[in-house]
Structure formats: structure tokens, C-alpha cells
Amino acid sequence: MSNNFLEFFGFEEDPFKITPDIDFYFNSKYHQEALMALEYIYHSEEGFVVIVGEPGTGKTITIRKFLSQIPDNMEYAYILFPNLSPEELLYAILEDFGVQIPKEENTTKNKLFSILKDFLINKKKEGKKLFIIVDEAQNLPIETLEELRILSNLETEKEKLLQIILIGQPELEEKLNSPKLRQLKQRITVFVKLSNLSKDETESYINYRLSKAGGSSVRITKKAINEVYKLSKGIPRLINQIMERALMAAFVNREYIIDTKHIKKAKESLKNLESNKKNSKMKNFIKLLIFLAIIIILFIGVYFYITNFSKNKENNSQKDITQNKKETTKNLNKKYYVLYFATTPSLGEAIKIKKKYEELSGKKMYILKLKNGKLYAVARLYEDKEKGQKEQNILKNILNDEDAFLTANKISVNILN
């Protein structure tokens, strides 16, 4: 915020800055309840407190207000980005407490747990109260929440070693209702929901922050407050955004009274901001679509390559069969002694039998199409009958085919393969 802006309204600082500032903490009904719950858990030695609320309702500023007034005997680990595995959570807790972790390649979870337990016991002996505070706790995996439950069980004969505060969006409540976390839910002593400000509270909130910033010359009309409440639905973060832009609109017009026209200007500004965000999201969405299109094109390309490869292979096989047919038609008028083995109406089955018999016997086999055209036979062909008779008995034993027989005379054959 520019110095000219602050000077114009007589502000000492920006009254509606987005960053949580405990100097501007507004103690609404629900925020007071949350703060009292935090103070209660400090004095009661209870294990768990959970605070939930929609984004922008003041969860973080409430916990900061609590931490700003804690006694010297309280120490805490503040975990802000909790999408962590159980091991990562233990590391984060120890690091925030300032505990030195052995530089071992394979420090197990049990080892980390033992280090934390020893630290907590030593601090208890010093008369310290130890807290773990997890912000945005809705992002905690279920197994990590379960790890927190186990940590909450740490205690001496007289008192608990650790107390835990979970702060999160409504999704946290949904997660805690999971059957997998029923044991954890049973340990929650205090559960507080931060709700939006009422219309009256919205008015008090705006005037409180204007007064706190030193802007005694600024006024806001009832109609403007009603419009702010309508747009923000009583969410403090949105109230701040709207009022910041409304003040800027008033500053541009050199006006000290905030009216509905300034709120409308703020609304337009926020719409443009939202539009830019949507455009940014749209650009990212388009990038994603392009990426998916490339993947699909590559997939189609691979599919057609494999399909064409298979077709080419099939065509080549067909050409080989055709070539074999051409070659074997030369032998249609040639006669052989035929040693018949299996016969089948299926060409595919005949091919399998042929391959099997060749592997077992080490002899070349043929597939013959019989004269009726409905059966296929696997056979050996001989120009010399005596050789066929000798092999007949040998092959019967090798192939375990007692039905094999040799033709008494030479006959014409239709060789397929």
C-alpha cells in the first residue's frame, strides 16, 4: 500500500492486509470460542483439539493469537505443510523442536519415535508443556493422522507428554469421520467450528479494522456494508479483499466516505482478478489437453504400427502358404506311399499336430487335404514302400499313435504344407 494512500486516509498501516496480523485480531463469537478452547486444552492437559473452518474464516490468525499469549513454559512444533508420511512427520516435528537427528542413512521410524519420546520426557522434567500444531491438517494422510494418535498416547505415570492441535478445512472433519480413524476421533476432547461473520459482525469487523489502522476520517455507509456482506458472505478474507479495493476506489476519487459505488468498483476489480485466474486455469487446461492429444496420437500411431505389422506378417504368412501351394501343386499328379497319422476337420488343429509330431520324431511331416475337402491329415510321404514300413513301427511308438497306417499303393496327394 502506497504512503500517499495511507496519508490520505490517515492510516498508520493497511487496515485490510491479507496476511494474518494478530494486532488486527477480531474476537467474534466463534473466534472467541476457538481461542477459549485452545486456552482450555493448555490448562487441562487433554490430548486433542480440532478447529475447522472454511478458507478465509480466520483459523490461522486465531492460532497465532493463542501462541502470542502463551506462557514461557510452553514449547511447540508448528507443522504448516502436512502432506507427509509418518516418517516425514516425525522428522518435521523433531526439526521444529530443534532436536538433532543422527545422520544415519537408514534412520527408522521406531528410532525417530524413540528420539522424540526421550526429548519429551526430558522437557517434562524441566516443567515444559509440549504441543504439536498442524495447520491445513486436512492434507494429512490417514496413516499419518494415525501416527499422531499414537504420539498422543505418550505419557508418564501422572500426565501426558504431548498435546496436539489440528487446524483445517471442513474436509478434515470428513476425514476424521472415517472408520479407520475412529480411535483418533474418540481422543478429540474439543472440536470447534469457525463460522462466517454475521451481518452485524461484518460491520463491527470493518469498523474495528479501520479504527485499529488509525483511519478516523473514513466512514462506510450502511448500504455499503450490506453490499460487502452480500459479496463476502461474512468471510473475513473476502471482506479484506473487497474493502481494500473499495478504499483504493475512494482514494482515486479523493473521497472519505465508502459507498456502494466503491463496493461495485471493488467487485469489478475482483471479477477481473478472478477472470485472470480463470484464464490462467484455462491456459493450464489447454496445455493439459494438448499433452493428452499428443499421448493419444502416439498411442494411435503405435496401435496402427502394431496392427499393420501384424497384417504384414499375416500377409507374408499367407504369401508363404500360397507359395507352398504353388510348389506343391506340381506334386498333385505325383504319387506316394502315404503314412497317415491324425486326421481332423480343423486346419489349425492339423498345424499344431504337425508341429508336435515333428518335434517328437525329428521327421518332416506334411498336411494333406483329403479328397472330400473336409478333412486334413498329418502324414509322411515315401517313394519307397519298404522305407515307409520300417518307419511306420518306429513312429507309432515314438508318437504313441496306434492308428497310423501306410497305404498299400502309391496314391496322388494334395499337399497343403
Structural domain includes residue 64? yes
Number of independent structural domains in the chain: 2
For residue 393, the enclosing domain spans 331-412
pLDDT higher than threshold 70 for residue 282: no
Domain boundary among 194, 225, 257: 194
pLDDT value of residue 329:
45
Whether the model pTM is above 0.75? no
Structural domain includes residue 228? no
Mean pLDDT of 254-273: 85
CA distance 361 to 355: 10
What distances in angstroms separate CA 280 from CA 273, 276, 286, 288, 289, one per listed residue? 11, 6, 10, 12, 14
pLDDT higher than threshold 80 for residue 239: yes
According to the per-residue pLDDT averaged within each range, which of 95-109, 237-251, 273-287 is highest? 237-251
Structural domain includes residue 171? yes
As to burial, measured by CB atoms within 10 angstroms (0-12 exposed, 13-18 middle, 19+ buried), residue 356 is: middle
Closest CA to 194 of 224, 173, 211, 220: 173
Mean pLDDT of 160-185: 91
Closest CA to 15 of 288, 269, 243: 243
pLDDT value of residue 307:
63
Mean pLDDT of 376-384: 90
Find out whether 202 and 195 touch, Cβ atoms under 8 Å. no
Structural domain includes residue 111? yes
Domain boundary among 135, 163, 194: 194
pLDDT higher than threshold 60 for residue 276: no
* pLDDT tier for residue 240 given thresholds of 50, 70 and 90: very high
Structural domain includes residue 24? no
Average pLDDT, the chain: 83
pLDDT value of residue 327:
45
Cell of 247: 478504499
Q: What is the CATH classification number for the domain harbouring 187? A: 3.40.50.300
* pLDDT tens by residue, 296-332: 777 777 766 666 655 555 555 455 445 544 444 444 4
* pLDDT tier for residue 1 given thresholds of 50, 70 and 90: low
* pLDDT tens by residue, 49-71: 999 999 999 999 999 999 998 88
pLDDT value of residue 273:
46
The percentage of residues in the chain with a pLDDT greater than 90, rounded to a whole number, is 35
Structural domain includes residue 141? yes
Q: What is the CATH classification number for the domain harbouring 386? A: 3.30.70.1070
